[in-house]
A and B are shown apart, each in its own frame.
Chain A
Amino acid sequence: MSQDLDQVYRLEAGRVLATLIRLVGDFDLAEEALQDAFASAAEQWARWGPPVNAAAWLVGVGRRKAIDRLRRRNLISRKQLDLEMAVAIETQIAPWPDGDDTFGDDMLRLIFTCCHPALGVDAQVALILNTVCGLSVEAVARAFLAHKETIAQRLVRAKRKIRLAGIPYETPGPERIEARVEGVLAAIYLVFNEGYAASSGPDLMRGDLCREAIRLARLMIELLALMLLHDSRRLARASAEGDIILLEDQDRGLWDQGEIGEGLALVDRALRAPGYPSPYAVQAAIAALHARAGHYSETDWRQIAGLYEVLARLLPSPVVELNRAIAISMVDGPARALALLDALAARGELDLYHPLPAARAEMLSRLGRRDEAIEAARAALAAAKLEPERRLLARRLAILSG
């Protein structure tokens, strides 16, 4: 690998792998696809230059490579399962996580899966370094002064257990998250200690372990900030009947000021850290701006729109663009936002994602285009699946039609 690509690998491999695992539903296949994607990158970037967004490019290519691999495997094995998996990946509608208030982000999913208590601690640490931090098997072995075969064997066993025992690839629910965060922190500390204990030695690799541990711990702090700030609104987000209450209608007196204070302090610290902010820090900063507004009308939409623009560059996804368009509507008005939403709709990536037609309905209604607004609101209702969402959209449709 060239120097540049090596750099990209160290920075992006974890994130790209995390998304690929979710898309293809299998650790091993995702890792093969990741290697394929980097092999393509080595070839194509040398000729055409690197793409604007390396991570998105790698995910896209990796996804196609995984499908190719399954189809080839099916030709040899004739296993129906391989073919079904290939078709399942191909027909995924929106390969992006939905909602901006779920912290079920891919990187977090990967960290929690690697640190699942059903895996041995040694296996957890090796998995984290290999997948999240993107260290090669050789590098992990060197760091632990272990044989390459020992580490390779440990990784194979751990991945096999994840698959066969049905360890879920997800962020644990609120009832389990506290205990699981402890497990993640313990694993990160082990990574750090492994490096720290030998930091006087000449082996640079071991000093790297300390840096990786600090990078992971920072990530966890940013995630914690994001979780605290989102969770602080929990009581205000739904009525006693289980109906959704939108941000603009929430009783801000119900927001948990303790959680907000803690979250804001963490965000400030994360944003002051040297280097590029992580996508989590940016998302937490957006949540912080909402938390700081005493009233909906005092929300700093200009800054929020700016932060969404930063986020769209760090973590390009149509869902982020949708949120950015909504923020822009609060600064520049509904006409500009509607143009962005229409462009987004034309790309078709969010076809079954009801917040898109719901946002269009909102903009059209603000522009006084009532018939089109009703049509968009109907499309949103048809696409929504969860009962509380359906009730909310039905209420809004009724107001528009009434």
Chain B
Amino acid sequence: MQYLLLIYSNEAEFSALPEPELTAIMGDYGAFTQSIIASGAFKAGDRLEWASTATTVRIRDGKTSITDGPFAETREQLGGYYMIEAKDLDEATAIAARVPGAKYGSVEVRPVFAMS
């Protein structure tokens, strides 16, 4: 099965981190990404720009509205994602638990809709 790991964290806290800590976290991400590439679980993954750069698109009554910001203001923001291949939910959550962001934010695990 394919799962999307959505990495949420508090951007304000994250951007206030001192430089050495930030470097350490990036190093952790590099190592984690390499490990799931090596194990074959990795399908895709990216870090996202800050939520303040987000734009939301809706169509209502046939009219497209484009607004600033993410869909909802929350304490934690979507900051990156991985698309992985895993046998089942237990394997997927085990990989999610190794995402560095799980330690200070949270990782949502969502199965990818299977077309049949």
**Chain A residues at the B interface, C-beta cutoff of 8 Å:** 79, 81, 116, 118, 164-168, 172, 176
Contacts and interface: CB of A to CB of B under 8 A. Distances in A.
A166 B116 contact: no
Given A165-B89, A165-B109, A167-B89, 11 more contacts: A118-B89, A118-B93, A166-B3, A166-B88, A166-B89, A166-B111, A168-B88, A168-B89, A168-B90, A172-B90, A176-B90
B1 interface: yes
Interface in B68-107: 86-90, 92-93
| Interface of chain A: mostly helix, strand, loop or mixed | loop
A172 B89 CA distance: 12
B109 to A, nearest CB: 8
A168 B93 CA distance: 12
Shortest beta-carbon contacts, A-B, top 6: A168-B88, A166-B88, A166-B89, A166-B1, A167-B89, A165-B89
A118 B111 CA distance: 13
Given A79-B116, A81-B116, A118-B93, A167 B88 contact: yes
Nearest to B93: A118
Contacts, number: 26
Contacts of A168: 87-90
Contacts of B111: 164-166
Contacts of A118: 89, 93
A79 B115 CA distance: 12
Q: Could you tell me the dominant secondary structure of chain B's interface residues?
A: mixed
A172 B90 CA distance: 9
A246 B93 CA distance: 36
A167 B3 CA distance: 12
Contacts of A164: 111
A171 B72 CA distance: 39
25 contacts: A79-B116, A81-B116, A116-B89, A118-B89, A164-B111, A165-B89, A165-B109, A165-B111, A166-B1, A166-B3, A166-B86, A166-B87, A166-B88, A166-B89, A166-B92, A166-B111, A167-B88, A167-B89, A167-B90, A168-B87, A168-B88, A168-B89, A168-B90, A172-B90, A176-B90
Contacts of B92: 166
